[in-house]
Structure 1
Amino acid sequence: MDSETWEELLQHGGMVSFMNESKGFQGSLKDSAEDFVVNEIDLDGNVIKLEEDETGSRFDYSGCSYLRVLRADTQTSSGPEAVKKAEVEEECAGERTSVLLEQIEESLFKAELKDLISEEAIKQVETYAQTLEGDDKVDDVKSKGVMIDIPDAEAFLRRHLPDVSAAPEISAQVTKLFRSACHHAMKTRWPWIKTTTVDGKFIKAEKDAIFDEISELLVKDDLEKLQLFAVTTRRMNQKKCQEGVDAASSFVLIGQNADRACRTKIHQCISRCLPFFRSTTETKRSAGEEGGASAIRVERKEMKHIKSSELNKKNERRGTRPQKFKIEDGGYWYTAFVLRKEHVEHLEAISRLADALQVPPSYFSYHGTKDKVGITTQLFAVRGVKGERLAGISNKISRIRIGKISTSSYAQPLSLGHLLGNRFQIRIREISAKREVVEGAVGELGRSGFFNYFGSQRVGRYSADHLMPHRVGASMMRGDFETALKTLLYGQGDNKEKCRQAIDFYYETKNISKALKMLPRGSRVQEIVLKALQRNGHEAHLEAIKALPHGIRSLHLQSYQSFVFNCMVSLRMRKFGRQAVEGDLVWSSERMADRKRRLELLSECADGSGKRRKLDGGSFVGQEEDEDGVVESKNHAEGTDTAENKRIKTLTKEDIASGSYGIQDVILPLPGRSVIYPDNEMKEEYRKLLAQDDVDFQDPTAKLGPFASQCPGGYRQVVEYIKSWDLLLSFNLPKSCYATSAIREMMKECV
């Protein structure tokens, strides 16, 4: 592919073609939230709405075909008595396991370091620690740290708890507790050393970044005094620390020449970075010095390990631990509700709900993600939360309202993609063209449709330094994690100027602690990545990407697939125009009939009244499509011989001659290992475009990054049509279609 075409595709996110040749016009879109209103349309044809007076209201969803009501009399086939007996036995077994784990946990965290790791390992770390003490500069050899083996937890139990045998089902928990105890004991003895688990078999000990942060606040003499004090108080139990040591060595005074502002920073640093120490300011009277300056008294505090069982009980009392809500068949129960948000990003809305209800964000399910800009209304479900609790927060979260809370509980969550479409109400302001131009563009859009591009919300807007989300995905695909990480750090966030300053500072100084302080509020991605680099080292690029939530990683990978799809739509238009050609891919007749039924149902929702409408035979459920309208090629370990690929037809000369197929039937693949490509020139276009990023899905022997296996690929319509609309720009679109792509077609400019 020539460089000019490649740069053009990059600048426009792959969107460089138009379906019709009508004259465009200029206007302003999304000036306010009311200019862009989105309402979800469920599988039964209901337009999901929430009026002002419906906040906190209850609603009966029993007529919905996609929600299975949880009956109060649900029983297993064994009968009520057998169920009750099994529950009692399970509860007793669980109690015995809990007591056993508590006993093991208490023994582990009371043990001394020599009982947990070998003497040889202690000597290794001790030698390394001595190279750090009193030396501000650490060369490359020292910065690499040392690796020690993690002993067998069972061996510890045999020596110290011979009467306790860890059952096989809790061996993993015991191993995890043992590793935690090793880390706890090592950090207690060597406060300046950071410990991390490597491959579950080793512990890596290396210089902690907090050493640099504290050294910047203290003069050399004070730093040496604090280090010496840390060396002489290396045990977790305060009383043991002071055996044979005079009272004067139980604390140390530092910062005697520091002003009040500096002392405040020292207190904050010790509190944040040295959890085994406490600091207080001593005045001249408490220090016993007439006329002396105030100083900071640092002493070791007794660190009590909080048992996990005690922490769970505490959280349960505070309401932060979810109660038991499993149903008898092993599943969970869910409460459905309608959420209306205004100018709030989708994941941010979920985070606010989770905080208000004190549950993890993963407890929420929904049919599809919605834009940040505008007013969006959609159906949600939450696991294990009663309707009364939802009603209690229905109007207490900024720019979020909750209502139509289900009166019954349901036996399954909502699934991504299980919706019919979305209804859009869009206002374009400051239109520069004459009325007849606008009406002509609107009419042509209704007749010819629009190219089904993924919008800029997915692929990102162009930047001269190529910091778009799909560039992150491309680097992840080919396994170039250093480039992916750098693009991610610079390209994320609303306040990009301040983010850039913080990231520039990190790359120049490698001082993560200061870079984190420089980040503006809301820089969640940068914070996660920098903290992961702080834990694992500056070269741990893959570990830093893995630290990101799965949803964020997936969005960047999907952004790259979407960018490739957009490019292929544009290149196909230039090669073949607006008609089907030999070698194009289309759905089988059965799949096309299903699609036609869904679009007919969507067209019936013309007025957006929210009334239920059903086709004969029930509603159509396109369960094979995800929220992007992409039919994913699953079971990708099987190669291209998948059930989805068997539902695809490659057009022949006879098919084209029959006139039965047009551009409206053509589909194109999103790249992946498990898709088939058009049997015409487009196959080579895919290869050339992917080669720009050193990605090759067509060659099974090509080496790709570990994340490429998460992208089997899929298929998407090339052209879509607006369903039931009016001149006020209120219209319905199938799920996954971007309203901005339709507006782009009409205005002939990027929006």
Structure 2
Amino acid sequence: MLRSFSYVTDHSGFCGTIKNSPSDFVVTEIEMPEHLLRDTRAESLQKTGEAPLEESSPCLQHPKKLRKELRAEGCRGGAPRPSECDPGWPGGDPSASPDKNQREGEPKVVSGLEEASTLDSLLGKPMSELLSKFACDLKEAWDVKCNADAGTGEFLLGPILDKKNRADLHSAIRQKFPFLVTVTKDNEMIVKGNADYRELCQLVTEKETSDFFKFLDAKLENSTFSFEPDGNKEHRKVVHHFINRKFGKLLETKAFTVTDVNDQPNMSIMVRFRERSGSRKRSAGGFQGKQDLYTAFTLQKENLETLEAIGLLAAELGVLPSDFSYTGIKDKKAITYQPMVVRKVTPERLKEIGSKMEKKGMRIHNIHSACQHLRLGQLKGNRFDIVVRDLKHHSHDSSADLKERISEAMENIKTKGFVNYYGPQRFGQGQNVQTDQIGLALLNEKMVKAVKLFFTPEDTDDPVNNAKRYFLQTEDAKGALVMLPEFKVREKMLLRALNRYGVNHEGCTKGWLNIPHSMRIFYVHAYCSKIWNEAASYRLKIYGSKVVEGDLVFSEENDESVSLNDKVHVVTAPEESANKYSINQVVLPMVGHSIKYPSNKVGQWYHERLSKDELQMCKFRVSPLQLNIPGCYRPILKKVQNLSYCLEGSEKGIEIEDNHLNESKVSLHISFDLDPSCYATACLREIMKCDF
């Protein structure tokens, strides 16, 4: 898939072979912090021997998507505070103070002195004092004036170029001044008053308002917030309406009977985050029914696709493939380690199948209870440990020493990075029909064609390909079902629907709907990835490493209330002349219905390329299959982290001389980390100047 594509570096490279065996290509997913997966409450109960409560305590931050929605709704507050037990539910205490009972390991509220020190160090004392004066003036304007425009000014902090400093500054300002919001535009930080904070202050006390926005800022799943007891029903109704109007998509409210400071019964408004659609079911009598059971583990697999491994596990455990969640698809021809979570399976049950799975190329490690599922893309990156064998010069290059060529390549990749192509495994390397072809058929709503492409066999004589061959020749879905092994879950799901509804447009549509959504959209994403690869190669061929007018660059601003498209800037002619941006900031769109395209020749190329495939730029919704592809942006270039390498003799007694390397007698061992969605094969291609 990458042949004849562009490179970013100009060294000569060298030849070699990768993936001679799975152990030559080891991939380890860099996990999220352990507390995001592990049910720490369950572990502590095991240690203390206490009986578990009926409900799980909060132990996760909200998923990234929800955190973004919170910010988009205007949720700006102070430092995160401890979550509470579920008031009004088993074990809950509606009257618990927001600041009581902070749990070990949860975010600690930073003191005013620490905040001031942080702001002084980030801004300098003069600017920090000016910010404090702006905050005080704004609060005074809110307190004194009654008109809507009171205190609506802005305070400019100036350009903050370092991304980490910007993030620290956003956090420090929110902690010290919960009534302010911070916005970044072209690296310029702007501070202004939070209108929602001001409006709530007019309904409840300032302390309640501050604590409420801290509750929003903490973003802890299952956490709740209690307003002070309030016997005025009409006033409670106004507060209910305010929260529903401003944050109704994210929060829900309910009134509960509590005991006030005089030990008298009273009513209090309780707030909690809404369940996302498709997650845990609600009971009729309360906000939430019994929680699902989740078990987390690390899957080690060898010479298996991720989806194939999940099919084998699901068949053995008697659950659906959709009950498994993971953060990314891993290579087949490799030994890979990745965290997974399975629903409706106990840790004990998972341990029972360990020996059976070893016979099928899998090992299960680090089994423990978890709080929720994982999501695609929720990972920090991957660690690669790779062996390149059969080293030699390219046929056109025999003048320089091979060791020099390797050293030169490594230095270049460290400093210049590589073209961020999707690797060949994204498309089903070596298969007769690649996944992007199926994706294109689905986008064009050619359901029968997509099914037949899906069942196109490889040129081998084994049960799976024999079953596929039989189905294409006879369209006998029932007969093909009998021939397929149990672990081919996707194929069996599709065939069951085809057997029931027929191999026609309607039947094939229902067949695709029978496959989990994550598997359906996988094929469409493969097509989008192919287009991105071609666009990146075209962009580098016509413009090289120069940033030109019409290119798209991504602003790494911290304010997540800004939409994705608003963070993407179109380079102007003056900016091109001033060399304002570097090639490392240029992004290209992954095709979809809600992205902008470059306004230069690359944008025209996208239009022509999609027209060639009978797709228009706004047609990335496949309603019959419930597929919605909004699109996103991907940097053209990427850098490696923690790169190291060494040469090793393949036979005892072979020495690697300082000035000469004997071809084919040594192996190159390379280790490096890559960001999520980056491909080691694309990095190796840039290093070696070889297509795989």
The verdict on a shared fold, with TM-score over 0.5 as the criterion, is yes
Q: Is the 8 A contact 2:552 2:587 kept in 1?
A: yes
Task: Give the drift of 1:30.
Answer: 0.9
Alpha-carbon spacing, 1:739–1:472, altered in 2? closer, same or farther (3 Å): same
How much is the aligned-residue C-alpha RMSD, in angstroms? 4.0
Q: Is the 8 A contact 2:26 2:384 kept in 1?
A: yes
Counterpart of 2:339?
A: 379
Alpha-carbon spacing, 1:510–1:731, altered in 2? closer, same or farther (3 Å): closer
How many Å separate the matches in 2 of 1:647 and 1:690? 25
How many Å separate the matches in 1 of 2:628 and 2:536? 23
Within the candidate set 408, 415, 437, 1:440 is matched to 408
How many Å separate the matches in 1 of 2:461 and 2:634? 33
Counterpart of 1:431?
A: 391
- Whether 2:307 is the aligned partner of 1:351: answer no
Matches within 5 A, 1:186-201: none
Q: Is the 8 A contact 1:476 1:705 kept in 2?
A: no
Within the candidate set 356, 365, 369, 1:403 is matched to 365
- Whether 2:607 is the aligned partner of 1:687: answer yes
How many Å separate the matches in 2 of 1:523 and 1:748? 37
- Whether 2:620 is the aligned partner of 1:670: answer no
Structure 1 portions without partners, runs of 5+: 1-11, 49-57, 84-323, 595-623, 625-640
How many residue pairs align between the two structures?
435
How many Å separate the matches in 2 of 1:373 and 1:66? 35
- Whether 2:500 is the aligned partner of 1:535: answer yes
Matches within 5 A, 1:717-728: 717-727=635-645, 728=669
Matches within 5 A, 1:494-513: 495=460, 503=468, 505-513=470-478
Structure 2 portions without partners, runs of 5+: 38-45, 49-56, 64-81, 95-280, 394-401, 646-668
Counterpart of 2:683?
A: 742
Matches within 5 A, 1:469-618: 469-490=435-456, 495=460, 503=468, 505-516=470-481, 524-539=489-504, 540-590=507-557
Task: Give the drift of 1:570.
Answer: 0.7
Alpha-carbon spacing, 1:565–1:74, altered in 2? closer, same or farther (3 Å): same
Alpha-carbon spacing, 1:541–1:13, altered in 2? closer, same or farther (3 Å): farther
State the structure with more CA Rg. Answer: 1
Counterpart of 1:77?
A: 88
Alpha-carbon spacing, 1:688–1:14, altered in 2? closer, same or farther (3 Å): farther
Q: Is the 8 A contact 1:30 1:374 kept in 2?
A: yes
Alpha-carbon spacing, 1:15–1:672, altered in 2? closer, same or farther (3 Å): farther
Alpha-carbon spacing, 1:537–1:363, altered in 2? closer, same or farther (3 Å): closer
- Whether 2:320 is the aligned partner of 1:360: answer yes
Q: Is the 8 A contact 1:490 1:499 kept in 2?
A: no
How many Å separate the matches in 1 of 2:545 and 2:527? 25
Q: Is the 8 A contact 2:583 2:637 kept in 1?
A: yes
Deviations 1:405-429 (A, max 9, x none): 33xx543322322221111000011
Deviations 1:632-667 (A, max 9, x none): xxxxxxxxx982112211111232233331111111
* Relative contact order, higher structure (CA 8 A, sep 6+): 1
Alpha-carbon spacing, 1:703–1:649, altered in 2? closer, same or farther (3 Å): closer
Counterpart of 1:598?
A: none
How many Å separate the matches in 2 of 1:440 and 1:481? 50
Q: Is the 8 A contact 1:41 1:420 kept in 2?
A: yes
Q: Is the 8 A contact 2:29 2:338 kept in 1?
A: yes
Counterpart of 2:187?
A: none
Q: Is the 8 A contact 1:364 1:382 kept in 2?
A: yes
How many Å separate the matches in 2 of 1:14 and 1:696? 27
3-state DSSP of counterpart to 1:668: strand
Q: Is the 8 A contact 2:282 2:288 kept in 1?
A: no
How many Å separate the matches in 1 of 2:626 and 2:293? 34
Task: Give the drift of 1:668.
Answer: 0.7
Q: Tell me the TM-score normalized by structure 1.
A: 0.51
Task: Give the drift of 1:484.
Answer: 1.8
Which amino acid is 1:744 matched to?
R
How many Å separate the matches in 2 of 1:366 and 1:681? 38
Within the candidate set 413, 418, 429, 1:450 is matched to 418
How many Å separate the matches in 2 of 1:522 and 1:363? 15
Q: Once the two structures are aligned, what percentage of the paired residues are identical? A: 33
Matches within 5 A, 1:193-232: none
How many Å separate the matches in 2 of 1:67 and 1:541? 37
Q: Is the 8 A contact 1:585 1:648 kept in 2?
A: yes
How many Å separate the matches in 2 of 1:361 and 1:749? 37
- Whether 2:31 is the aligned partner of 1:42: answer yes
How many Å separate the matches in 1 of 2:445 and 2:14? 43
* Structure with the higher helix share, 1 or 2: 1
How many Å separate the matches in 2 of 1:576 and 1:743? 23
Alpha-carbon spacing, 1:39–1:663, altered in 2? closer, same or farther (3 Å): same
How many Å separate the matches in 2 of 1:325 and 1:28? 54
3-state DSSP of counterpart to 2:310: helix
3-state DSSP of counterpart to 1:490: coil
Q: Is the 8 A contact 1:478 1:694 kept in 2?
A: yes
Task: Give the drift of 1:737.
Answer: 0.4
Which amino acid is 1:350 matched to?
I
Which amino acid is 1:40 matched to?
E
Alpha-carbon spacing, 1:494–1:722, altered in 2? closer, same or farther (3 Å): farther
Q: Is the 8 A contact 1:342 1:374 kept in 2?
A: yes
3-state DSSP of counterpart to 2:537: helix
- Whether 2:667 is the aligned partner of 1:730: answer no
Q: Is the 8 A contact 1:76 1:329 kept in 2?
A: no
Deviations 1:684-728 (A, max 9, x none): 100111111100015x7x997745852111111111111111113
Q: Is the 8 A contact 1:346 1:372 kept in 2?
A: yes
Deviations 1:93-150 (A, max 9, x none): xxxxxxxxxxxxxxxxxxxxxxxxxxxxxxxxxxxxxxxxxxxxxxxxxxxxxxxxxx
How many Å separate the matches in 2 of 1:703 and 1:355? 32
Task: Give the drift of 1:394.
Answer: 4.2
Task: Give the drift of 1:43.
Answer: 3.8
How many Å separate the matches in 1 of 2:484 and 2:346? 38
How many Å separate the matches in 1 of 2:557 and 2:364? 40
Which amino acid is 2:88 matched to?
S
* Structure with the higher strand share, 1 or 2: 2
Matches within 5 A, 1:89-128: none
Alpha-carbon spacing, 1:674–1:396, altered in 2? closer, same or farther (3 Å): same
Task: Give the drift of 1:381.
Answer: 2.5
Counterpart of 1:116?
A: none
Counterpart of 1:711?
A: 629
Task: Give the drift of 1:337.
Answer: 2.8
